[in-house]
Amino acid sequence: MSDTPVRVGFIGLNPGIHWAATAHIPALKALPHAFDVVGVANTSLASAKKAADAFKLPHAFENAQALVSSPEVDLVVITVKVPHHHELVTKALDAGKHVFCEWPLGNGLAEAKELADLAEARGRVAAVGTQMRVAPEVEYLRQLISEGYVGEVLSTTLVGSGGQWGGETDAAHAYLYERSNGATLLGIPLGHTLAGMHEVLGGIKDLSARMINRRRTAHVTDTGEMISSTSHDQILVHGALESGAAFSIHYRGGVSRGTNLLWEINGTEGDIQVTGATGHAQIVQLSIRGARGDARELAPLVPPASAYQGWPESSVARNVARLYALIAQDIRSGTRSAPSFRDAVALHETIDAIENSAARNEPK
């Protein structure tokens, strides 16, 4: 493909505080020579026209099929709820388009495998939004570990809060509390963070898990109703990485008055601690501290300034922009550097293993 901008069509773009508007649009604006957002399809033509007007886009498509069939679109970006991913990704790939789909890729492992197989059969660039993998701080962490900052990794510990899946929510996020929708504490914040952990420390060899639902209801603040919650709000996992290092994880719903993201890496020569404002490590600004050798107190470890130059100031848009840059490279050069659907399958397999272990460990 030439160096002309990749033409982007969104399925699921609304003005306001919605994810595509707050993360994807600013990310793409940071890459004006690589991408041109040309259109949108939403649940109705009226909604698509409203979004097209708000973002000054030339095309408001009647429906998703019209968007994926349009010769004006090269890359279809899917930012709708998880239950719709399989249908929409399939339409886009069958229409011969490149695809960027938000994580989770499918509503479960089986759907993810089908979509990865289809993407490979169609020969299209198919990227998934596990953007923590390309965060500057994660790339720096990977470098520190590979260069032996902590020596041999002995163990890693991860604690995080999901924000949602607590005692309160709003109507826009109430669907998260129904486990069958596939947008769970395990799948979203922990899934994203597992992708980053894998990037730094490698894969998981074996694990044992428990998932507990302590909150059976949630208060919807803007409607006043109480809804039932079938999604687990406590996830505990431990085991060994492929390297042999021990790992332990505890993710919990809601927000803690204490620590909301703490990731420690402990080794024979040193220690690293990563913190953030929430357990959604894919979007928060990560802070790194470390100590090694004779040092007894942790000190800041900061990525080089060049890692941030030219990228959005906000970590939300910055990480997504860095992923988009890889997608542009893959489309133009035939490479496969962006997190792929096959990578997504591997992450879905880890989540599936956690769910299966938790099911076996449920009290009889």
User: Closest Cα to residue 276, out of 316, 309, 313?
Assistant: 316
Q: Does the fold of domain 133-302+349-357 match that of domain 6-130+314-339?
A: no
Mean pLDDT of 46-52: 97
Residue 124 and residue 119: Cα distance in Å, rounded?
Answer: 6
Retrieve residue 311's tokens: 């990228």
Q: What is the DSSP track for 29-70?
A: HT-TTTEEEEEEE-SSHHHHHHHHHHHT-SEE-SSHHHHHH-
What pLDDT, in 10s, does the model give residues 282-323?
999 999 999 999 999 999 999 999 999 999 999 999 999 999
Residue 305 and residue 311: Cα distance in Å, rounded?
Answer: 11
Encoded amino acid at 205, one letter = K
CA angle (208, 209, 215) in 5-degree steps: 170
> For the domain bounded by 6-130+314-339, which CATH number is listed?
3.40.50.720
Radius of gyration of the chain (CA): 20
User: Closest Cα to residue 272, out of 264, 282, 281, 283?
Assistant: 264
Q: Name the pLDDT band for 363 (thresholds 50, 70, 90).
A: confident
Of 148-157, 226-235, 355-364, the one with minimum mean pLDDT is 355-364
What pLDDT, in 10s, does the model give residues 73-109?
999 999 999 999 999 999 999 999 999 999 999 999 9
What pLDDT, in 10s, does the model give residues 110-134?
999 999 999 999 999 999 999 999 9
- Kindly compute the dihedral angle of the four CA atoms of residues 115, 41, 55, 58, in this order, to the nearest 10 degrees: 110
pLDDT at 17: 81
- β-bridge pairing 246-252 and 153-161: parallel
Q: Is the pLDDT of residue 44 over 70?
A: yes
Residue 262 and residue 281: Cα distance in Å, rounded?
Answer: 10
- β-bridge pairing 246-252 and 261-267: unpaired
How far, CA to CA in Å, does 301 sit from each of 71, 137, 304?
47, 9, 9
Retrieve residue 93's tokens: 């790939």
Q: Name the pLDDT band for 2 (thresholds 50, 70, 90).
A: low
Q: Which CATH number fits domain 133-302+349-357: 3.30.360.10, 3.40.350.10, 2.60.40.1840, 3.30.750.210?
A: 3.30.360.10
Mean pLDDT of 145-165: 98
- β-bridge pairing 261-267 and 153-161: antiparallel
Domain-by-domain residue ranges, the chain? Answer: 6-130+314-339, 133-302+349-357
